[in-house]
């Protein structure tokens, strides 16, 4: 794995709603400084992931599959108060798969779309349902949302 390159946008409307598939995701974050350490349960699979900023749109990323049962226990024991719940919808548009995350719980009301790229300057066409780009705004990172949920933001 090594590097994740992604761009992130707010979503303007619901015209994207014809996903290829949808996944229920719960992820917990460990208190860390300078990097992100999370455990994610995604349907019947689970992963332990480390991320650290490399540039404004690239991050070092290392992800390892772990037993889903263990992941649920880890979230309950180690990540209390640092949980992000969302439904991820995969949308195909102009040769790219977009991930539209509809957040639940303390982040209810937030909808964000992400696209993963092969390079930082890779060209792509933006769907009409995209809003403001928030790639460089760290408050839209899931690790931030785990500490400072969307419902607490002064909108």
**Residues annotated as part of the active site:** 29
φ/ψ bin of 136: left (φ > 0), alpha (ψ from -120 to 50), beta (otherwise): alpha
Cα(116)–Cα(85) distance, integer angstroms: 21
By C-alpha distance, which of 155, 151, 93, 104 is closest to 127?
93
């Amino acid at each position: 794995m090594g590097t994740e390159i992604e761009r992130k946008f707010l979503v303007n409307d619901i015209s994207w709603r014809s996903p290829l598939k949808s996944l229920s995701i719960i992820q917990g974050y460990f208190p860390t400084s300078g990097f992100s350490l999370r455990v994610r349960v995604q349907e019947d699979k689970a992963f332990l992931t480390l991320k650290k900023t490399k540039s404004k749109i690239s991050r070092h990323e290392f992800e390892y599959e772990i037993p889903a049962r263990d992941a649920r226990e880890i979230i309950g024991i180690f990540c209390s108060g640092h949980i992000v719940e969302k439904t991820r919808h995969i949308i195909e548009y102009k040769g790219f798969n977009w991930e539209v995350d509809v957040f639940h719980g303390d982040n209810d009301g937030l909808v964000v779309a992400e696209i993963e790229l092969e390079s930082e300057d890779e060209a792509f066409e933006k769907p009409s349902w995209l809003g403001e780009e928030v790639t460089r705004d760290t408050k839209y990172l899931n690790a931030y949302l785990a500490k400072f949920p969307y419902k607490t933001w002064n909108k």
